[in-house]
A and B are shown apart, each in its own frame.
Chain A
Amino acid sequence: DSGVTQTPKHLITATGQRVTLRCSPRSGDLSVYWYQQSLDQGLQFLIQYYNGEERAKGNILERFSAQQFPDLHSELNLSSLELGDSALYFCASSVGPDGTSYEQYFGPGTRLTVT
Chain B
Amino acid sequence: DQQVKQNSPSLSVQEGRISILNCDYTNSMFDYFLWYKKYPAEGPTFLISISSIKDKNEDGRFTVFLNKSAKHLSLHIVPSQPGDSAVYFCAASINQNAGGTSYGKLTFGQGTILTVHP
Contacts and interface: CB of A to CB of B under 8 A. Distances in A.
Contacts of B111: 42
B104 A48 contact: yes
B105 interface: yes
Contacts of B104: 31, 33, 48, 55-56, 94, 97, 102
Given A90-B44, A105-B46, A106-B44, A56 B106 contact: no
Interface residues of B, number: 26
B43 A48 contact: no
Given A35-B106, A48-B105, A109-B41, 13 more contacts: A2-B43, A2-B46, A45-B105, A55-B104, A92-B43, A97-B95, A97-B104, A106-B44, A106-B45, A106-B46, A107-B43, A108-B42, A109-B43
Contacts of A35: 106
B12 interface: no
Interface residues of A, number: 28
Contacts of B8: none
Contacts of A56: 100-105
Contacts of B46: 2, 103-106
